[in-house]
Amino acid sequence: MDERERAEKIIALLEAEYPFDKGTVLHWRTPLELLVATILSAQTTDEQINKLTPALFKRYRTASDYANAEREELELYIRSSGFYHRKAELIQAACRQIVDEFGGEVPRTMNELLKLKGVARKTANIVLGNAYGVVEGIAVDTHVMRLSQRLRWSEETDRDKIERDLLALIQRDKWYEVNYLLIAHGRKICEAKKPECTNCIVNELCPSAFTFKHNKK
């Protein structure tokens, strides 16, 4: 079979294993909350972000609230996310842009979102797909990056280049869900250090299966 057929079979198996009924596990109610939560989720877990955002979202409700917040107070709310100095800086810079350039509303297009401080394609794809139902690409997080390389869907290490390879390989109507299928599989089976190849439903289609030292007898 060719690479597209192999990708289709893998996705079909993942769909059967992980019924897809929603998108991001980050908790949010508005596009702004989703944008802030996604920025905060860098280099930490979604679960950790979901613990801190209830208090954060109660204190700051609009882009103006974030833009005009006292930096030290904002940092206290997001401290447990890690790298909180930088994240507070990015959130406030993005929210100032939202206020000044977009009338206080989170942009609805990829090009406009990418103008915001701290927003790359991964974040933009998550916001567009979940908040607005707009699918322009595939969000490439650490799970998607790892599994794309192990499945030999991409040999790149740059996220944008990996996304480019995935877009060329995967049918457009699967772009939105494939991110979450790979995340689910990455968390449950195909972990970074100890992938459970024996229990993997796609091991017969995966070039990397059973190549890891811990899997060898």
**Which pLDDT tens digit goes with each residue over 84-124?**
999 999 999 999 999 999 999 999 999 999 999 999 999 99
Q: Is residue 160 part of a domain?
A: yes
Q: Is residue 79 part of a domain?
A: yes
Q: Do 94 and 174 have their domain in common?
A: no
Instruction: Determine the Cα–Cα distance for residues 164 and 123; give it in Å rounded to an integer.
Output: 16
Q: Which of 85, 103, 132 is the C-terminal boundary of a domain?
A: 132
Q: Do 46 and 88 have their domain in common?
A: yes
Per-residue model confidence (pLDDT) at position 21: 72
Point out the residues that are catalytic: 122, 141
Q: Do 46 and 127 have their domain in common?
A: yes
Per-residue model confidence (pLDDT) at position 213: 60
Instruction: Determine the Cα–Cα distance for residues 148 and 90; give it in Å rounded to an integer.
Output: 28
Q: Do 109 and 179 have their domain in common?
A: no
Residue 214 has pLDDT above 60, yes or no: no
Percent of residues, the chain, with pLDDT higher than 90: 94
Per-residue model confidence (pLDDT) at position 216: 45
Residue 201 has pLDDT above 80, yes or no: yes
Q: Do 144 and 170 have their domain in common?
A: yes
Average pLDDT of span 50-77: 98
Q: Band of the pLDDT at 217, cuts 50, 70, 90?
A: very low
- CA 98 to chain centroid: 21
Per-residue model confidence (pLDDT) at position 1: 81
Q: Is residue 85 part of a domain?
A: yes
Q: Do 127 and 146 have their domain in common?
A: no
What's the CATH code of the domain at 151? 1.10.1670.10
Q: Which of 99, 132, 165 is the C-terminal boundary of a domain?
A: 132
What's the CATH code of the domain at 69? 1.10.340.30
Per-residue model confidence (pLDDT) at position 143: 95
Q: Do 35 and 11 have their domain in common?
A: no
Q: Which of 132, 157, 181 is the C-terminal boundary of a domain?
A: 132
Q: Is residue 26 part of a domain?
A: no
Q: What is the mean pLDDT of the chain?
A: 95
2-21 confidence digits (pLDDT tens): 999 999 999 999 999 998 77
The pTM (predicted TM-score) of the whole model is: 0.91
Domain extent for 171: 3-21+140-215
Domain count across the chain: 2
Per-residue model confidence (pLDDT) at position 178: 96
Q: Do 36 and 15 have their domain in common?
A: no
Q: Do 63 and 117 have their domain in common?
A: yes
Residue 23 has pLDDT above 90, yes or no: no
